[in-house]
A and B are shown apart, each in its own frame.
Chain A
Amino acid sequence: NAGVTQTPKFQVLKTGQSMTLQCAQDMNHEYMSWYRQDPGMGLRLIHYSVGAGITDQGEVPNGYNVSRSTTEDFPLRLLSAAPSQTSVYFCASSYSPGQNTEAFFGQGTRLTVV
């Protein structure tokens, strides 16, 4: 089972550049989310989606866009990269909220903005 796949694993961007972090899952999960992980701050929710065509903001959404055109894919777009967006990004997926809200995580994307 592939589970949750994130690409790329590493990326260096210049300030002002844009890019898309890819996330795909093959478990037919309705719920997908993006987190950023910074030292001493744990994981903070950026955006999430409860199904195709439905997205919402999390705790730290500024500077990021998402869309969900299919159940499998949930890309995260950085519109104009800033050094403050240097972080490790994790994508996660799970069944709809309820008894089975266990989240499965990708391996992460380490992003550096210079």
Chain B
Amino acid sequence: AQSVTQPDIHITVSEGASLELRCNYSYGATPYLFWYVQSPGQGLQLLLKYFSGDTLVQGIKGFEAEFKRSQSSFNLRKPSVHWSDAAEYFCAVCSYNNNDMRFGAGTRLTVKP
């Protein structure tokens, strides 16, 4: 079965600094990859997704992610973090023929003023 690893449990960055959240997946075929964000007390909101094609995908709120098959990674980036980006971020993987979407454990982002 597929699995997702988010190596960083908690990251703190200063407002205006750049951000990269790491995600590694394990899956035999081409995966469908997602990044979700969860604000405190809320459900999950989709930031971006990768199904095929261009390996650099743009999402909402200025986020982007790059699919690197050779490294089995799908890292999330943002050039300049805003205080409102403080939240928990989840990477997820799903296969075309499988109904089982697997999530990473999440990375909590704190933004310093």
- B-binding residues in A (CB < 8 A): 4, 31, 33, 35, 40-45, 48, 50, 56, 58-59, 90, 92, 97-99, 101-108
> CB-CB < 8 A to A48: which residues of B?
99-100
Is B100 a contact of A58 with CB atoms below 8 Å?
Answer: yes
The answer to whether B44 has its CB under 8 Å from any CB of chain A is: yes
- A-binding residues in B (CB < 8 A): 4, 6, 9, 32, 34, 36, 41-46, 49, 51, 90, 92, 94-106
**Cα(A52)–Cα(B65), bound, Å:** 35
Is A42 a contact of B99 with CB atoms below 8 Å?
Answer: no
Mostly, the B contact residues are loop
Counting chain A CB atoms within 10 Å of each CB, the highest count among B98, B101, B106 belongs to: B101
Tell whether A42 pairs with B106 under 8 Å between CB atoms, given A31-B99, A48-B99, A97-B98: yes
Which listed residue, A4, A40, A103, A106, touches B101 by the CB 8 Å rule?
A: A103
**Cα(A59)–Cα(B101), bound, Å:** 10
Is A97 a contact of B103 with CB atoms below 8 Å?
Answer: no
> CB-CB < 8 A to B43: which residues of A?
4, 90, 105-108
Distance in Å: Cβ of A44 to nearest Cβ of chain B: 8
